[in-house]
Amino acid sequence: MTNENTNKNNHTLVIYQKYLDLIYYTNDLCKKYPKSEKPALATETKSSLYSGLRNLMYAYKEYNKKNKLEYLNNMDVELNLQKVFIRLAYKYQYITKQNYETWSGKIADICNMLGGWIKSCLTR
């Protein structure tokens, strides 16, 4: 395996692990939502999260640069939706300020890694 492939695998492994951590954290927080919101905001939040994970997996397996960028951009859209869902959950006091800050931080880390991945695809 070349050094470039090793770096790619390590980078992807890190973003994948961080994304799984985000899923675990999100699922735990969605349990705090009131019963009336579970079919709505909680479901939308989780659905968006799983869609992002699907795009991450497709991007990792894709060799065509154009297709890879499409998956990465779709993942970026899902992460931006997550930010909106988090703001709503905080505004309606389904989560605490600490939850909001932690959750936002996890998404920001993934967004930064994703931005680097997109940039590396554009410069190759």
Instruction: Spell out the domain ranges in the chain.
Output: 21-123
Nearest to 103 by CA among 21, 31, 2: 21
Q: pLDDT tens digits, residue range 17-43?
A: 999 999 999 999 999 999 998 889 999
User: Alpha carbon of 91 to those of 51, 87, 97: distances in Å?
Assistant: 24, 6, 10
Indicate the CATH number for domain 21-123.
1.20.1440.60
pLDDT by position in tens, the chain (length 124): 444 444 455 555 899 999 999 999 999 999 999 999 888 999 999 999 999 999 999 999 999 999 999 999 999 999 999 999 999 999 999 999 999 999 999 999 999 999 999 999 988 6
- 26-63 burial: b if 16+ Cβ within 10 Å, else e: beebbeebeeebeeebbeebbebbeebbebbebbbebe
The pTM (predicted TM-score) of the whole model is 0.86
Q: What is the pLDDT of residue 11?
A: 56
Rounded distance between C-alpha atoms, residue 41 and residue 85, angstroms: 7
Which pLDDT does position 1 carry in this prediction? Answer: 42
pLDDT for residue 105 = 97
